[in-house]
Amino acid sequence: MKINVYDLNGNPIEKIDLPKVFSVPIRVDLIWRDVLSTLSKKRQPYGTNIYAGKRTAAHYHGRRRTRYSMMNIGLARMPRLHGHTVPWLYLEARFVPQARKGRRAHPPKVEKNWEEKINKKERKRAVMSAIAATAKKEIVKERGHKVDKVKELPLVVCDEIEKVSKTKQLVEIMKNLGLEDELKRVKKKKIRAGKGKIRGRRYKKKIGPLIVVSKDEGIGKAARNIPGVDVCRVENLGTYILAPGAMPGRLTIWSKGAILKLDKLFAKWF
């Protein structure tokens, strides 16, 4: 199957063969697993101080037939503070989980392993599925992207796009390719519902187009100021960036060099 290569003005200039990776069946289950595996590696271990709730002078007097035993005085047998003259502190329970200011029964531990493992072949197959999903217009639309004015998917542009270093110029190129509605969509942001507003994540932003290149000769600098737009080298592609939130079908712009490299990267799978 042949696909068009467009220039920076949005006009077709040549045709090239579509790589075999775009004919791979789309496995949503594998994409989901790989995205979760990637996210688990980003998670930072956390835990409580091992002495939390244990810094107390409370001690246990619940044994039978011992001096100062707490038997037969109408109190639960647990570690308590003794010797206080203040009424509300006298014989107050401490240390145990059910007591006020006591330790937690099962606190989070730093040594917990959060990493979700996935087989190498499954990860590779997940990446191939995510790449194939970028060529299906119905899947891209279902994800929320505005692609009605895009002539065809996958959208392949000449290698000149890799040398664009001005944001204004890149915006103009994207409009020429039929992505004007998409640029308007990613500009919108909304205030998050819930407590996230006071935890440094007040706004929810849209995920926009992904630009895949063989070399970054300035395009990364041009795209970093456009909301929702990411730039990635073809060797570094993963499901985390091709299918954010484990939803396949991100709108992707390929440079000609990047699309030709796909056959070399996945040659042994066909």
One-letter amino acid for residue 197 of the chain: K
**Could you report the per-residue pLDDT of 7-28, keeping only the tens digit for each?**
999 999 999 999 999 999 999 9
**pLDDT for 88-129, tens place per residue?**
666 888 999 999 999 999 999 999 999 999 999 999 999 999
For the chain, give the mean pLDDT.
92
- 202 Cβ contact partners less than 8 Å away, ≥ 6 residues apart: 191, 192, 196
DSSP string, 194-231: SGGGGTT--EEE----EEEESS-SSHHHHHTTSTT-EE
Q: What is the pLDDT of residues 215-251, one digit of tens each?
A: 999 999 999 999 999 999 999 999 999 999 999 999 9
Please tell me the predicted confidence (pLDDT) of residue 110: 92
pLDDT score for 214: 94
Per residue in 151-178, pLDDT (tens digit) is 899 999 999 999 999 999 999 999 999 9
In the chain, where are the structural domains located?
A: 2-44+117-269
When pLDDT is cut at 50, 70 and 90, the band that residue 84 belongs to is: low
Q: What is the CATH number of domain 2-44+117-269?
A: 3.40.1370.10
CA nearest to 239, candidates 136, 132, 130, 121: 130
